[in-house]
Structure 1
């Protein structure tokens, strides 16, 4: 089993500026040893490490950590996709460790961020190097991301955290906005980050309808499970989220959702 989305950070080092002190539950250093122990106890054998800072310095650190680990099978990093020398930057990062993709920090950006022509050269550079694109977004970005996927039909795009729906609010509108993207063969979706979108009085019991929607839209062949640890700890814990997801995904679909799809999307060797 693969955890396709987790983070580590050291506050104040490697350009780490987030989480801020108001996020008390996660405002501390989070190291690889902690998550590796936690995940393996839950039956997770390997994982994809994802950037949490808009910094190449942070990405280089993540790649260095990954090189020395038998738990991390790939790193989704950050680089300025609008840089004139983006190809050289990607090559340097790929040389530093097991880079599998890039993730710009876009959830706080304008609704039409993905329409910007300035990012197209960077996206083409990803395709040329066999790298993927993780989209950290909100539902309001979905239309723009759909247009990006149309412009770059060979770019593998992963929607992180199912576009962060507000659980219990406008579920139908979220599902309808996702539907056109689910029709595109180059787009997949992460079954992750949903617990932190729960209403203040919500619980894991509110999540199965959303998971059912994702299975109906993307099918079990284009849905990928991830923990989003340690951000997950703001509203739940590793074992609770894994149990919730496994209970909502039919047993026959679990090998794909919890392992095979991540390997295929990120270009990893079969287990």
Structure 2
């Protein structure tokens, strides 16, 4: 079993500027030992470590942690996508399986930026996954990107952070037409009311199919609103049993090419 979305950070180190003191429940260090204990308690074998800071120093630290433990299956880091050489340099590290620009607070057409084209092309060439940290307003731009680079694997983090569900359904549906787009079933307890989560799951299953869904905990952000085991149990109940092997590990293994990232 693979958790496709976890974070680690040290407050004030490795260019860490978030979480801030306003996020009191998670405004502390979260390290590798605590993550492994959390995975062990839930019976989860490995996790994909995802950046939480737009910083090369943070990505270097995450990669260093991943070399210390085979419980980290791979790292989704950060690079300046306007600098294709930087992307290519990162791609040389086989534990680096993807990149995540933090787009959720940027303009709705961010993925259309001409300065980013070489970076996206380099990602596609080297097999790096684009983790899309977005809100529904960014989805049309992301769809245009998916059409321009059909060889670029894209995964929408946290189902694009649903807000008003009817508008979200309308915005995310066109992405399903692009075979290179996948969705993380993650982060939802922080974004929608508890009783709305089944509706989100139903929409994703009907629109993308279970074969393009990956489960992630979004730990430790999750701990602001719920427990790891509780979210895992809820997700297991909402995903058909026949699809558990893929959604809870197999799809992450394939999408992020984690077998290639493995050590030795």
* TM-score, with length taken from structure 1: 0.93
For the pair 1:262 / 2:259, whether they are aligned, the reply is no
User: Secondary structure, in 3 states, of the residue corresponding to 1:48?
Assistant: strand
User: Secondary structure, in 3 states, of the residue corresponding to 1:25?
Assistant: helix
Choose between structure 1 and 2: higher helix proportion: 2
For the pair 1:48 / 2:48, whether they are aligned, the reply is yes
User: Secondary structure, in 3 states, of the residue corresponding to 1:255?
Assistant: helix
Contact 2:91 2:128 in 1 (8 A): no
* 2:228 aligned residue: 238
For the pair 1:59 / 2:47, whether they are aligned, the reply is no
Cα shift at 1:93 = 3.0
What's the CA shift string for 1:56-83, capped at 9, x where partnerless? Answer: 1100110000011110010000010002
For the pair 1:190 / 2:181, whether they are aligned, the reply is no
CA distance in 1, matches of 2:91, 2:166: 40
Larger mean Cα displacement after TM superposition, 12-21 or 261-270: 261-270
Cα shift at 1:91 = 4.1
CA distance in 2, matches of 1:97, 1:124: 18
**RMSD across aligned positions (CA):** 1.4
User: Secondary structure, in 3 states, of the residue corresponding to 2:26?
Assistant: coil
* TM-score, with length taken from structure 2: 0.95
* 1:14 aligned residue: 14
Larger mean Cα displacement after TM superposition, 122-131 or 2-11: 122-131
Contact 2:54 2:101 in 1 (8 A): yes
User: Secondary structure, in 3 states, of the residue corresponding to 1:269?
Assistant: helix
Contact 1:60 1:93 in 2 (8 A): no
Contact 2:111 2:145 in 1 (8 A): yes
* 1:164 aligned residue: 161
CA distance in 2, matches of 1:193, 1:81: 25
For the pair 1:173 / 2:167, whether they are aligned, the reply is yes
CA distance in 2, matches of 1:95, 1:177: 35
What's the CA shift string for 1:106-151, capped at 9, x where partnerless? Answer: 1000011011111110001111111110000000100010011111
For the pair 1:30 / 2:30, whether they are aligned, the reply is yes
CA distance in 1, matches of 2:93, 2:256: 17
What's the CA shift string for 1:229-268, capped at 9, x where partnerless? Answer: 0111121110111111111011001111101111111012
CA distance in 2, matches of 1:230, 1:30: 8
* 1:251 aligned residue: 241
User: Secondary structure, in 3 states, of the residue corresponding to 1:100?
Assistant: strand
CA distance in 2, matches of 1:97, 1:145: 26
CA distance in 1, matches of 2:186, 2:58: 22
1:205-216 equivalent positions in 2, closer than 5 A: 205-216=195-206
User: Secondary structure, in 3 states, of the residue corresponding to 2:5?
Assistant: strand
Larger mean Cα displacement after TM superposition, 39-48 or 153-162: 39-48
Alignment: residue pair count: 261
